[in-house]
Amino acid sequence: MSFLEMLDIVNEEQMKQGKEGFAFDHDCREGICGMCSLVINGMPHGPDHATTTCQLHMRKFKDGDTIVIEPWRAAAFPVIRDCAVDRTAFDRIIQAGGFVSVNTGAAPEASTIPVPKADADRAFDAAACIGCGACVAACKNASAMLFVSAKVSHLSFLPQGKVEAKKRVLAMVAQMDKEGFGNCTNLYECQAACPKGITVDYIAKMNREYLGATVTYAEKVYGKD
């Protein structure tokens, strides 16, 4: 039985007694949508390595264990109810620049943009982020650097994304700060909690890109101040 199926039973029992169920987010239940989000025994997504809450199974626990369940905790992720939190801050960070500006119909023939296999693979590794927010929940500073750096890197590894890379990194980092996420102090807790194996190497890459962009590009976006 999966962890969420266990919670379904808890909720069904509650309802049978006329009580309110307990609110938690979930959708795909196969580790890809990024909706499930529980801190289990102090660990975002629970004790299993590189596993989302929905893919955690009860066989990881022993009979009689006490299990403590909490929501993601971060100022930028206000709790809606019980364990459901508001993660729209992540959407706003993407809105700030996490895309390639290409309108439908304006694309060139696909094979005219060759991409070295190694770059395509690295871009994919970064793009595997499911936007769950476990990295934020794991960090004592509630930093969103792992999430933001994954998106920045995904696009900047590819020629299609390079055109806007500088503008993108500046805008996304600015939005991240505005949303109230904390700074990165190199604790690597995010990497340990991430269910998709996103590594802090991307944070380093993003920092380099950010620095470069501040020097060469920031004036254009924000003016001389």
Partner 1 sequence: MILDSKIPGGSIEEKWTKHKFELKLVNPANKRKFTVIVVGTGLAGASAAASLGELGYNVKSFCIQDSPRRAHSIAAQGGINAAKNYKNDGDSVYRLFYDTVKGGDFRAREANVHRLAENSNLIIDQCVAQGVPFGREYGGLLDNRSFGGTQVSRTFYARGQTGQQLLLGAYQALMRQVAAGKVKMFPRREMMDLVVIDGKARGIIVRNLITGELESHVADAVCLCTGGYGNVYYLSTNAQGSNVTAAFRAYKRGALFANPCYTQIHPTCIPRHGDLQSKLTLMSESLRNDGRIWVPRKAGDTRSPDQIPEEDRYYYLEEKYPSFGNLVPRDVASRNAKQVCDAGLGVGNTKQAVYLDFADAIQRMGVAKITDEDPYKVPMRIFPAIHYTMGGLWVDYDLMSTIPGCFVLGEANFSDHGANRLGASALMQGLSDGYFVIPFTIGGYFAGTKLEKVSESDAAFEDCKKQTEERIHKLLSIKGHRTVNDIHRELGNALAALLTSSNSPKSSLSTLSIVKNLAVATSVKKARLRKAKQSAMTKTSATSVLGNTRATVSHRNSPRNLLPLITSTLLLGATNNERTEFDFEDLASEGCQDQSTMFLRTCPSWKCSTL
Residues making contact with ligand SF4 (CB under 6 A) = 129-135, 146-147, 150, 193-196, 198
144 closest CA partner among 178, 184, 174, 171: 184
The packing angle between helices 165-178 and 201-216, to 10°, is 110
* Cα 152 to Cα 59: distance, rounded to the nearest angstrom: 37
Rank residues 80 and 221 by Cβ distance to ligand FES and give the closer one: 80
Under rule CB under 8 A, residue 30 binds partner 1: yes
Rank residues 9 and 211 by Cβ distance to ligand FES and give the closer one: 9
Of 150-179, which residues contact partner 1 (CB under 8 A)?
154-155, 158, 160-161
Extract the tokens encoding 188: 């690597």
Q: Smallest gap, in angstroms, from Cβ of residue 170 to ligand FES?
A: 30
Residues 6+ apart with CB under 8 A from 55: 2, 30, 31, 48, 195
User: Is residue 96 helix, strand or coil?
Assistant: helix
Give the neighbor-by-neighbor strand order of the sheet with 69-70: 43-44, 39-40, 69-70
Side chain identity, residue 74: A
Q: Smallest gap, in angstroms, from Cβ of residue 113 to ligand SF4?
A: 26
CA angle 104, 109, 111 (to 5 degrees): 135
Q: Is residue 202 within 8 Å of 123, Cβ to Cβ?
A: no
Of 1, 10, 75, 211, the residue at the interface with partner 1 (CB under 8 A) is: 1
Extract the tokens encoding 218: 């920031």
Handedness of CA 105, 106, 107, 108 (dihedral sign): positive
Q: Smallest gap, in angstroms, from Cβ of residue 5 to partner 1?
A: 5
Q: Smallest gap, in angstroms, from Cβ of residue 148 to partner 1?
A: 14
Phi, psi values for residue 61, rounded to 5°: -110, 160
Residue 147 binding result from partner 1, ligand SF4, ligand FES, none, given CB thresholds of 5 to 8 Å by partner type: ligand SF4
Residue 52 binding result from partner 1, ligand SF4, ligand FES, none, given CB thresholds of 5 to 8 Å by partner type: ligand FES
Q: Smallest gap, in angstroms, from Cβ of residue 76 to ligand SF4?
A: 13
Of 10-29, which residues contact partner 1 (CB under 8 A)?
12, 15-16, 25-29
Rank residues 39 and 193 by Cβ distance to ligand SF4 and give the closer one: 193
Q: Which residues bind partner 1 (CB under 8 A)?
A: 1-2, 4-5, 8-9, 12, 15-16, 25-30, 32-35, 51, 55, 57, 59, 80-81, 84, 86-88, 90-91, 94-96, 98-111, 113-117, 120-121, 123-124, 127-128, 130-131, 154-155, 158, 160-161
